[in-house]
Amino acid sequence: MQSLPATLNDTSAIKPLPTTVVIRKIPTSVRQQDLLKFLDSFCAENNLMQEGGQCLLAAKFHSMQKRPMRRQSSDVEINYVHIPLSKKGAHKGFAVINFTKLKGAMIFNALLHERQVEMGPQRRAFVCKVAFAEKQIDGLEAEFGSTLATLQKPMLFNPPCNGAKGGCRPP
């Protein structure tokens, strides 16, 4: 039996699929609870699939008239949320979110990038900027995991937050 060439045995060059996204342009009036509530709703909405596998939020963009048949899915789950704060305690206007599957991150990116979203106590509308993060979850834990203040620490969800009962709540 032949062995693989050394270059194929080297797994250090293999990059994991991107599941971590950054959402930017979050107004400072939006609190952690507001973002978690929004993410919980997003997961719930997109885990209720219509017949044929198209998510309900996407169906709204295409103004489908037929009422969808729903079934529960777990393609959109979040296991990590971090909202970095400044030294003064205000958030910096962005959040880092990790989905458990590439599909969840892709749905989030496709449906929210450059789209208007309402979030926060005044339901203020803003246009989201969503992109895949340069550092995926392993690098993020190393970078943000050492913050001192409890409010600045990343929130890890185990089991993942998927919009089912219980919702996304700070651990």
What is the domain-level CATH number for residue 52? 3.30.70.330
Report yes or no on 3 lying in a domain: no
Please give the residue range of the domain that contains residue 53.
16-157
Report yes or no on 23 lying in a domain: yes
Give residue-wise pLDDT tens across range 110-169: 999 999 988 877 777 889 899 999 877 765 555 554 444 445 578 888 888 888 766 777
As a whole number of angstroms, the distance between CA 108 and CA 119 comes to 16
Q: What pLDDT is attached to residue 69?
A: 44
Match 């993020």 to its residue by tokens: 140
Residues 6+ apart with CB under 8 A from 146: none
Report yes or no on 129 lying in a domain: yes
As beta bridge partners, residue 118 has: 125
Domains in the chain, number: 1
Report yes or no on 74 lying in a domain: yes
Q: What pLDDT is attached to residue 168?
A: 75
Q: What pLDDT is attached to residue 121?
A: 74
Q: What pLDDT is attached to residue 147?
A: 47
Report yes or no on 10 lying in a domain: no
Report yes or no on 68 lying in a domain: yes
